[in-house]
Amino acid sequence: MANNSSARKRIRQTEKRTVRNKARKSRVRSFLRKVEEAVKSGDKAAAQEAFRAAQPEMQRAATKGVLHANTVARRLSRLSARVKSVGA
């Protein structure tokens, strides 16, 4: 257990950050799920719209350090390819 004030503060900060990061990661997953559902339905317009909404959210997660930048780039690239292939 924390024995000094700085350690107690560090614990408080970590808890806040953990909650914030969980929320952000959950939000990213929700956006990704919407894109996947649109792709599965075969609606290209809906898939493109969902992808446009998901992109900044994923970039923000990378900027904030919730997801690694390369992970986000890879996922966006693969997602973009799937969206482009809809209806083709």
Question: Where in the chain are the domains?
Answer: 5-85
Q: What pTM was computed for the model?
A: 0.86
Q: Please list the pLDDT of the chain residue by residue as tens digits (88 residues).
A: 788 999 999 999 999 999 999 999 999 999 999 999 999 999 999 999 999 999 999 999 999 999 999 999 999 999 999 999 997 6
pLDDT at res. 1 = 78
31, 58 Cβ separation under 8 angstroms: yes
66, 24 Cβ separation under 8 angstroms: yes
CA angle 68, 74, 80 (to 5 degrees): 135
Give the separation between CA 6 and CA 62, rounded to whole angstroms.
Answer: 28
- Name the fold adopted by 5-85: Methane Monooxygenase Hydroxylase; Chain G, domain 1 (1.20.58)
**Among 47, 71, 56, 57, residue whose Cα is nearest residue 25:** 57
Count the helix, strand and coil residues of the chain and give each as a percent rounded to the nearest 5: 85, 0, 15
